[in-house]
Amino acid sequence: MRKEIIFAGFGGQGIVLMGVILAQMMEDFPDLQVTQAQSYGPVSRGGACRTDVVISDQEINFPKSARPDIMVFMSEESVKRYIQEGNPEETLVIYDSTLIKSIPPPYKKVYAVPATKIAEEDLKTRIVANIFMLGAVIELIAPGSFPVLQQVVRKSVPAKTEAVNMKALEAGYEFFRTHSAG
């Protein structure tokens, strides 16, 4: 088993944090290997940003995604820049429908999540859109691991934002449960 995930957006959205949290969460599964790699555009805030997470039950020789199973997009620019790396027939593409109009054809497995809209309207801060998205996609990445994800998020965010981040995570998970993809 090898699962390759790409999270992409722009600097300042917490894209790298999503990958770091997912990689740390996988430490609870000793039979699996995990790598996490990140890259930024020329400017960290507002420029292109991406993190790759590879999960495998075998040794991982290359730490980046070669052909992603799941791509999570949080900006139009990231879609334009990275969508061609996926397989239109097999890659599951999840996108923030608040910031991205649509995923171009011929991608068949597409799941829209209004992460930024819900973060702004229900949680009153767009800064937690990334954590909402993580909650919305976790069952697609590692089924049954939500309780572990909750623990890792709690340890990974600043204490003063813990309550709103936990609300965002739970809201994202509930969004998935009621709008299931895949």
Q: Which domains does the chain have, with CATH numbers?
A: 2-178 (3.40.920.10)
pLDDT tens string, the chain, 182 residues long: the values are 889 999 999 888 989 999 999 999 998 888 999 999 987 665 555 677 899 999 999 988 887 888 999 999 999 999 999 999 999 999 999 999 999 999 988 999 999 999 999 999 999 999 999 999 999 999 999 999 999 999 999 999 999 999 999 999 999 999 999 987 54
Amino acid identity, residue 96?
D
Q: What pTM value is reported for the model?
A: 0.92
